[in-house]
Amino acid sequence: MAAELEQSAEHFRGQARLPGFAAPRRYDLLLTPDLAACTFAGSVSVDVDVATPTRFLVLNAADLDVSPGDVHFAPKGSGQVLLPVEVTSALEDEILIIRFNEVLPVGEGTLVIAFQGTLNDKMKGFYRSVYELNGEKKNMAVTQFEPADARRCFPCWDEPSFKAVFKITLDVPSETVALSNMPVVEEKVNGPTKTVYFQESPIMSTYLVAVIVGMFDYVEAFTADGTSVRVYTQVGKSAQGKFALEVAVKTLILFKEYFAVPYPLPKMDMIAIPDFASGAMENYGLVTYRETALLFDERHSAAANKQRVAVVVAHELAHQWFGNLVTMEWWTHLWLNEGFATWVSYLAADRFFPEWNVWIQFLEESTTGFRLDALAGSHPIEVDVNHVDEIDEIFDAISYRKGAAVIRMLQSYLGAEIFQKSLAAYIKRFAYSNAKTEDLWAALEEGSGEPVKTLMHSWTKQQGYPVVSVKLKDGKLELEQTQFLSSGSEGVGQWVVPITLCCCSYSVQQKFLFRGKQEDFNLSGLVECQKKDDFWIKLNVDQTGFYRVSYDEELASRLRHAVETNILSAADRYGVLDDTYALCMAGKQKLVTLLHLIAAYKNETEYTVLAHAINTSLSIYEMMAVAAPEELVNMKKFLIDFLEPFAQRVGWDAKGGEGHLNALLRGTLLTALAELGHQATIEEAVRRFNVFLEDRETPLLPPDVRKAAYVALMQTVNKSNKSGYESLLKIYRETDLSQEKVRVLGSLASSPDPDVVCEALNFLLSSEVRNQDCIFVLRGVTAAAHEVAWTWLKENWDYIAETFTGHLLTYFITVTVSPLATDEKGDEAEEFFKSRTKASIARTVKQSIERVRIKAKWVKSTKGEADLGNVLKELAHKH
């Protein structure tokens, strides 16, 4: 007898995956949401393929009421209806175990289940989002199913590999707009309610199913092949959807060419949701977004908002092919979805907005990946997932940013054309099914003839990345690789590193694979090049590889000179600084070396490079507040002298015909000067802000500098003079533009007064701030108040842990714990979380405490730098 016949319900508990003895082929789903009572009822009829004789059907369900009388199974063609003898909900495992007396025959049958649930306020599953219409608060019903929350809306096989067809029907109030993945085929109005029937979907995974019911306006356009594209917004905001609509139409056309497969559905709807946990979600044919990631207001959105919308729209639309048409087999391969969509969103943005230099900005994504992956508590790109609770935490900088960076490295190594053709072949081969990482490598290997699998295994199967140390000796280049860790420890990893190298010029580039631990390379032209006065060598040309480089002293000083004289490309200038900063934090280089290097960027012309120099400087300043408070005056003078000439050049007001990057730079520079307490910046900000407070349309405070002005204003606020704080709250309460609200929230905690910071933190937990937006207040906490924020987190932890879930909860930990910089605080955090850690936050807690230890170590090594004071005095004087 088959094992499935012998088992008891207990056997199915505690398993990572559902059993494979039955699989869904088609769902017929009816949902009836009650928007006033915040509940829903539904029924699902699933065509199931039974592969081996069994008395059980096991599928996912969570937070749903299912009574045994509402379940039955009908084997196809038998005329029988089988009723279960037992229906068990295993809460821990989020499964429904249905046991029959009879053996279910192999072949097709239909499982029917009726159920009820709550429209929750957790922004996952089938949930409610609150909006205002004509001054009245209303609920909309929204779904968010990725990674594993379709089971909170209807019982289903809620794993990516169980693909099926979906036929969805909704019973809703007749005045509302009802949307799903597919177009409406029929609507039947019956007085106050209507039944909306949607076209059957192609085969797809449960996490991509979507349903939305509420009041919306929309703007619409069509692609050349007649696909309808709409952007839905709250009533009265549809004009703010126009920019995203333009980007979407162009993107669908571009990706149809790039993937050599047409967009598979008849329509593409994109919709802004007021309460939304992540940035956006790629539901097939109905993509949901936070308002800030979809809407653009010509008068009140900043250049940074415009870029965010373009990149996020391209990211979500890339998923329609990479993720939705071809889907990862299991969450271990999540990076295939997210790393790829991140990379290709830059490809699209670069095609449509070449003046944005997005491939230079992409380096900020790589840096985020580098920083997380330099922790011992990081994880490989392909990560084992043994329980559904572990999935949320891998939607992180490894899956997205490192994933995107290694794809860029591989594309650069194989060449753009071969890469694109091989991808198109992969998409064709796995369309409407599931794939693993190995399948992509096989397609790329086939298309290129290169050993892709061997090369890439070292990057996706093990965590971390190498630092390649370079020495020049007797005309030879000596290379050595070790795993880079921010703690300064040495890891054991080893990689196949695609080395690229330029010497004195970009006209000749050398490429080779570095496989060993140590190798010497004789490079043609190296000896001649070495004789030149302006000799330099740069590895990892244009930063296309996911590794760091450490140069010997001579080579490093020549690179510093090449930065100063602007000989290096912008990407390489960024890379030299980023690598030096990382090595300094890990105790591999002295802080004074890094400070001398930052000074070499005084004539920098590229926004992303200068922004990186500013952010690096501010984090050094923050660390020195703990390590060497007596040196802060000189450090501040050095930084203000470094930034002032740039700020004078860009000013507060946009110049006619200036570019997008200048607008980004203006905001970054003025915000940094405000944070450093630069008096002239603060006074000018307050002057302009006061005019803006009286007239929100004044040209004196355009959107690109508002955040800087708000941060500057908060520098004047303390507990005995809170007028600036109150004025910002007034703006927050009066605007209905999410981007404006986020700018205000990001500034409220930047006061130097700890009491005001506490008040701002308490405000974030009030009913005035949507749960999705709390994180912006926390991010705005300045160096002086990190310990205040930590104390506040501990005091409010029980409420926070109960109210927030998923990455909204893990953000609280990352943003509050990571900036602490002493071992004493590390011990405190360890002690605090010892009894409060559950599977869904364990990885975040471990990583955050590790960051505290790393900072504490950096503080100690800085205290030991005897010449720091003199160097700072010299630099401050020189500037």
DSSP letter for each residue of 374-404: TSTT---SS----SGGGTGGGSSTIIIIIHH
- Describe the crossing of helices 839-863 and 570-585 by its angle, rounded to 10 degrees: 90
- Angle at alpha carbon of residue 156, lines to 152 and 158, rounded to 5°: 80
Give me 136's structure tokens.
Answer: 């009245």
What 3-state class would DSSP assign to 616? helix
Which residue is listed with tokens 């930590």? 790
Structure tokens at 390: 């572990």
As given in the structure block, the two tokens for residue 457 are 């295994």
Query: Are the C-beta atoms of residues 674 and 685 closer than 8 Å to each other?
Result: yes
Name the catalytic one among 4, 146, 246, 316: 316
- Backbone dihedral region for residue 540 (phi beyond 0: left; psi -120 to 50: alpha; all else: beta): left
By the 8 A CB rule, do 865 and 590 touch?
yes
Burial (Cβ within 10 Å: 0-12, 13-18, ≥19) of residue 864:
exposed
Alpha-carbon distance of 217 to 17, in angstroms, equals 41
**Phi then psi for 199, rounded to 5 degrees?**
-60, 150
H helices within 134-196, ranges in order? Answer: none
Cα separation, 95 vs 488, whole angstroms? 45
SS3 assignment, position 500: strand
Q: Determine contact, residues 757/749, Cβ cutoff 8 Å.
A: yes
List Cβ neighbours of 793 (8 Å cut-off, separation of 6 or more): 800, 812, 813, 816, 817
Residue 69 DSSP label:
G
Helices H, strands E: what count in the chain?
27, 28
Q: Give the whole-angstrom CA distance, residue 658 versus residue 667.
A: 14
Q: Give the gyration radius of the chain's Cα atoms.
A: 28
Which of 135, 188, 162 has its CA nearest to residue 25? 162
Q: How far is CA 341 from CA 47, 277, 409, in A?
A: 32, 19, 15
Determine the Cα–Cα distance for residues 629 and 429; give it in Å rounded to an integer.
61
Task: Tell me the DSSP string of 741-770.
Answer: HHHHHHHHT--S-HHHHHHHHHHHTSTTS-
Q: How far apart are CA 156 and CA 117, in angstroms?
A: 14
| 373 and 402 Cβ atoms separated by less than 8 Å | yes
Pairing of strands 326-328, 433-435: parallel
Q: Are 164 and 45 in contact (CB under 8 A)?
A: no
**H-type alpha helices, 402-516:** 403-414, 416-430, 437-448, 452-460
Known catalytic membership, residue 850: no
List residues bridging with 113 in a β-sheet: 44, 71
Q: Which residues are catalytic?
A: 316
